[in-house]
Amino acid sequence: MSCKTAILISGSGTNLQAFIDQVADGKLDLDLCLVFSNNPDAYGLERARKAGIPTDCIRHGDFEDRESFDRAVAAVLDEHHPRLIILAGFMRILSPWFVDHYEGKVLNIHPALLPKYPGLNTHQRVLDAGEEWHGSTVHFVTAELDAGPRILQGRLPVDPNESADELQHRVQAIEHQIYPQAAGLVGSGRVKFDAGRSIIDGDVADEPIVRTFD
């Protein structure tokens, strides 16, 4: 049976679209059971509706604190019984309660070769530092921001003459390939989370799988 998967978004949802397309093409065996947003205007909700995926939205501004919003989100999610939760441009820091409630089930993609460049504005920081390589990392979510066990990285050589926008565009194209792939590995059970580490094909993995792109 396909792994029931919820996708959380806040914006345009190009990563969500990659999941939708790969499932439709039969390349990815996940059951996309819910697309959730904290932003009613997120274009990703429209993408989900077009694909016939159930959607829900709760505005974080209507809640007093982070955890009460997260508990409301979890109540919606739990109605759909997801085994996997994909953060795809979900612009919220998760409370410790939420991370604990879904330990080992939440994936994030971060536009850098973690542990390098956690946080924001990664593309410009990479260019400013004169890095030779940049890319994106899919990882399990833990309490520490952008620091959970890594699963899969896509990397590409940096052209020192390109702009941050161009670099971002190239990195996003990679994300649309590696994020569904990593989620598929978790959904099929080839990758697991155990005691704060990634287990890849039965072995504790201190390093992620790395794919190199042009």
* Span of 14-22, 64-72, 113-121, 206-214 interacting with ligand GRF by CB under 6 A: 14-22
| Of 14, 55, 124, 177, the one binding ligand GRF by CB under 6 A | 14
The distance of closest approach from Cβ of residue 64 to ligand GRF in the complex, given in angstroms and rounded to an integer, is 26
Q: Which of 33, 34, 73, 88 touches ligand GRF by CB under 6 A?
A: 88
Q: For the sheet containing 55-57, what is the strand order? A: 55-57, 30-37, 3-9, 84-87, 106-110, 133-140, 150-157, 209-212
| Residues with Cβ within 8 Å of residue 84, at least 6 apart in sequence | 3, 4, 5, 6, 30, 105, 107, 183, 186, 187
Question: What is the β-pairing status of strands 203-205 and 197-200?
Answer: antiparallel
Catalytic residues: 110
With contacts defined by CB under 6 A, how many residues of the chain interact with ligand GRF?
15
Q: What are phi and psi of 97, to 5 degrees?
A: -60, -45
174: closest CA among 12, 24, 18, 5?
A: 18
> Given the complex with ligand GRF, which of 47 and 105 has the nearer CB atom?
47
> Is position 111 an interface residue for ligand GRF (rule: CB under 6 A)?
yes
- In the window 53-72, what residues touch ligand GRF (CB under 6 A)? none
Structural contact between residues 106 and 137, judged by C-beta atoms closer than 8 angstroms: no
85 touches ligand GRF (CB under 6 A):
no
Convert residues 21-60 into a mask of x (bound to ligand GRF by CB under 6 A) and - (unbound).
Answer: ----------------------------------------
Q: What's the min distance (Å) between Cβ of 203 and ligand GRF?
A: 27
The DSSP annotation for 87-113 comes to ESS---PPPHHHHHHTTTTEEEEESS-
Determine if 12 is a binding residue for ligand GRF (CB under 6 A). yes
Which of 85, 167, 175, 180 is in the footprint of ligand GRF by CB under 6 A? 175
**Should residue 11 be labelled a site residue for ligand GRF when binding is judged by CB under 6 A?**
yes
Residue 59 Cβ vs ligand GRF, minimum distance, rounded to whole Å: 18
Tokens of 22: 């790969």
